[in-house]
Amino acid sequence: MSSRSNERRLAAIVSLDVAGYSRLMGADEAGTFARLKAHRTELVEPAVTARNGRVVKLMGDGMLVEFSSAVDALACAVAIQRGMAERNAPVPADRRIELRIGINVGDVIVEGDDIFGDGVNVAARLQALAEPGTIYVSSDVQRYVGGRLDVPLEDCGMQALKNIAAPVHIWRWRGTGAKLPPATAPTGPAPARAEQPSIVVLPFANMSTDAEQEYFADGITEDIITDLSKIAGLLVIARNSAFVYKGRAVRVDEVCRDLGVKTALEGSVRRAGNRVRITAQLIDGTSGGHLWADRYDRQLDDIFAVQDDVTRSIVAALKVRLSAGEEERLAGQHTRSLEAYDLRLKGQELANRFTKEDNAEALRVFERVLALDPSYAEAKAAMATCHVRDWTLGWSDSPEESLRRAHDVARQALALDADQAEAHGALGFTLLWMRQFEPALVETAKGIAFGPNDSNARMFYSLVLSFSGRPDEALPEAELALRLDPKWPSAALWALGHAHYVRGRYDEARPLFERSIAANPNFFPPHMFLAALYAEAGMTEQANAEVAAATALNPRAARLSWGRERLPYRDQAVLEHFVAQLERSGIPV
């Protein structure tokens, strides 16, 4: 092993591969291999050498390259893509070798001649997201390059990347004359500032000496958001969009303008032994003035009283009138077990990572929570949501069992606390897939009644409405879900696109599905609907790409039978048309 073993260093990492490689090899294996080798030796490797890069390794149709400079990395990638465009010009479209490139700057671990770590993983995920002929770079690359290169980069906004915990701000280079749709930031333009009282709760800072207490500070933040979301007189930004700003030095006025709200809550949490100190301040998003502030030094078992006081202080400062039902819901039911509460926060932190593995671990943690306190309704509601994700995203090895478990656990949560918005939404969504349309509509409507600012509840209700044949009513629900969660819009965009799809407005549905995928390429459903729409429009290559993406994400469901047997359309004509469209995409039966 070389002397560089176990070294850590900052590097610019370039990940590239060939788009549609399997199709090219299937059509002409020997010719494709020879052309790829020629491109590599005549163009790619000389470009890397010219910019002082190091080829770390070759991976079939891909390559990993390391640079000490982000400027050199991007300049090299642009030279490669421009060179490939020239070399492909005389080649028939179906035989062209086109590259996808991702670049990130990050800390890497060096073992021998190889490199590992999150810096490498992010570059690989950016490459997987890129369209043929383009370069996707992280915001760190964009910042390091600055104005040093005459390379136009388009802002694609915050996007979720597979198995990467936090969203990444992405920029795109798409070259001269590239035939691509216009770049669209998945979050869209900043929403207009709400007329009603409105708030974003920014992630509370962890001031504990133990960095592992981060989950506790995040959990406090999320619980306050959940409590505020029960109030109809407020507009409350959803947890996922609020947490986009976690760990960033931001100006409150800019955040409020970006999210279209009037106020922001900032705070910090310090936990030491059985004591907790929480500071909180409510800030006017226009003037920057403090509307309210307080500090709490309490025993840990007073945590629910502190959360309640913070919520009520915000309501008072914003002069929001509570209904009798809201008063009762804010009083809430909580566990008496601090150990169960602490574990629930850990489970929620895992669930919020939104990966198959973390979702499975979250379910195991919630099982431990309920062993400590079987009457903990919030834990059961969170568990039901995890089972719903297993079903809808194809993460479960036993999908029918996941659907049944989601249904049963949601009912158990509601038996303990009938006001659980999350549980009503999860139950309604499972009833939809069981084709119990009227009960599904009732339950998802209750989810909104008890959580008017719950973006997931709005999204569930929108989907139940559209599948039940009421797409015109579904549209405003999906639009409100998007308004509440503008920085994490994939599910809401999918629901909005689906409502247009059921209305037969395919030209309106297609760009929404495309934006949904741009916001989260790991979200399965819009890939299937895009495959159907592309196929019907004769866009065979694009349809094939969506089928491939769907198959990689959910091989069990990426089949014609998924549409024919599972999709719960009340109107069979809509289902039959979708299946006919999807059949043209060449998807397996």
Given this model, what pLDDT does residue 326 score? 85
Question: Binning pLDDT at 50, 70 and 90, where does residue 189 land?
Answer: low
Residue with the two structure tokens 């001269």:
176
Question: Binning pLDDT at 50, 70 and 90, where does residue 236 land?
Answer: very high
- 317 Cβ neighbours under 8 A, 6+ residues apart: 282, 291, 292
Phi, psi of 534 (to 5 degrees): -60, -45
| Mean pLDDT, rounded, for 307-332 | 88
**CATH number for region 7-173:** 3.30.70.1230
Given this model, what pLDDT does residue 183 score? 31
Given this model, what pLDDT does residue 181 score? 32
Q: Which of 40-49, 106-115, 401-410 has the highest mean pLDDT?
A: 401-410
DSSP per residue over 191-256, as a string? PPPPSS-EEEEPPPEE-SS-GGGHHHHHHHHHHHHHHHTT-TTSEE--HHHHGGGTT----HHHHH
531 with 501: CB under 8 angstroms? no
Given this model, what pLDDT does residue 161 score? 76
Residue 332 has pLDDT above 80, yes or no: no
Tokens, residue 179:
């035939």
Residue with the two structure tokens 């169960």:
340
Q: What value, to the nearest 5°, has the Cα angle with vertex 569 and ends 567 and 573?
A: 115
* Averaged pLDDT of the chain: 88
173 with 195: CB under 8 angstroms? no
Residue 272 has pLDDT above 80, yes or no: yes
- Packing angle of the helix pair 338-351, 214-228 (nearest 10 deg): 90
Classify residue 221 as exposed, middle or buried by CB count within 10 Å of its CB (0-12, 13-18, 19+).
buried
Given this model, what pLDDT does residue 20 score? 82
- What's the distance, CA 202 to chain centroid? 18
Residue 176 has pLDDT above 50, yes or no: no
Residue 209 has pLDDT above 80, yes or no: no
Three-class HEC string of 119-176: HHHHHHHHHHHCCCCCEEEEHHHHHHHCCCCCCCCEEEEEECCCCCCCCEEEEEECCC
Helix (H) or strand (E) holding 471: helix 471-484
Distance from C-alpha of 509 to C-alpha of 496, rounded to nearest angstrom:
8
Question: Binning pLDDT at 50, 70 and 90, where does residue 248 land?
Answer: confident
Distance from C-alpha of 246 to C-alpha of 268, rounded to nearest angstrom:
12
Given this model, what pLDDT does residue 186 score? 42
Classify residue 111 as exposed, middle or buried by CB count within 10 Å of its CB (0-12, 13-18, 19+).
middle
Residue 396 DSSP one-character state = -
Tokens, residue 478:
């999906």
Q: Taking the CA of residue 237 as centre, how many other CA atoms within 13 Å lie in the half-sphere pointing to its CB?
A: 31
- Top-confidence residue, 204 or 555: 204
Looking at 252-409, which runs of residues are DSSP E strands? 263-272, 275-284, 290-299
Residue 185 has pLDDT above 60, yes or no: no
141 with 105: CB under 8 angstroms? yes
Question: Binning pLDDT at 50, 70 and 90, where does residue 6 land?
Answer: low
| Of the listed ranges 146-155, 224-233, 432-441, 496-505, the one predicted with least confidence | 146-155
Tokens, residue 174:
């798409």
- Top-confidence residue, 176 or 565: 565
Classify residue 116 as exposed, middle or buried by CB count within 10 Å of its CB (0-12, 13-18, 19+).
exposed
112 with 1: CB under 8 angstroms? yes
Given this model, what pLDDT does residue 151 score? 83
Given this model, what pLDDT does residue 184 score? 34
What's this model's pTM, rounded to 2 decimal places?
0.69
Percent of the chain with pLDDT over 90: 56
- Count CB-CB contacts under 10 A for residue 152: 11
Given this model, what pLDDT does residue 519 score? 80
| Mean pLDDT, rounded, for 175-189 | 41
- Top-confidence residue, 310 or 356: 310
pLDDT in tens, 523-567: 889 999 999 999 999 998 899 888 988 888 888 888 898 888 889
Residue 506 has pLDDT above 90, yes or no: yes
Given this model, what pLDDT does residue 210 score? 78
Helix (H) or strand (E) holding 64: strand 62-67
183 with 157: CB under 8 angstroms? no
Q: Which fold, 337-388+398-452? A: 1.25.40
Residue 1 has pLDDT above 80, yes or no: no
409 with 386: CB under 8 angstroms? no
Q: Which fold, 198-331? A: Rossmann fold (3.40.50)
pLDDT in tens, 360-401: 999 999 999 999 999 999 999 999 999 999 988 878 889 899
Given this model, what pLDDT does residue 177 score? 35
Residue 225 has pLDDT above 70, yes or no: yes
- 523 Cβ neighbours under 8 A, 6+ residues apart: 393, 490, 491, 494, 516, 517
Distance from C-alpha of 468 to C-alpha of 21, rounded to nearest angstrom:
41
Question: Binning pLDDT at 50, 70 and 90, where does residue 334 land?
Answer: confident
Distance from C-alpha of 14 to C-alpha of 106, rounded to nearest angstrom:
11
Phi, psi of 58 (to 5 degrees): -100, 140
DSSP per residue over 355-376, as a string? -HHHHHHHHHHHHHHHHH-TT-
Residue 192 has pLDDT above 90, yes or no: no
Distance from C-alpha of 79 to C-alpha of 466, rounded to nearest angstrom:
47
- 23 Cβ neighbours under 8 A, 6+ residues apart: 544
Helix (H) or strand (E) holding 58: strand 54-59
Q: Taking the CA of residue 105 as centre, how many other CA atoms within 13 Å lie in the half-sphere pointing to its CB?
A: 17
Distance from C-alpha of 84 to C-alpha of 98, rounded to nearest angstrom:
7
563 with 587: CB under 8 angstroms? no
Residue 571 DSSP one-character state = S
61 with 99: CB under 8 angstroms? no
The residues spanned by each domain of the chain are: 7-173, 198-331, 337-388+398-452
Q: Taking the CA of residue 139 as centre, how many other CA atoms within 13 Å lie in the half-sphere pointing to its CB?
A: 10
Distance from C-alpha of 252 to C-alpha of 268, rounded to nearest angstrom:
15
292 with 313: CB under 8 angstroms? yes
Q: Which of 118-127, 303-312, 363-372 has the highest mean pLDDT?
A: 363-372
Question: Binning pLDDT at 50, 70 and 90, where does residue 188 land?
Answer: low
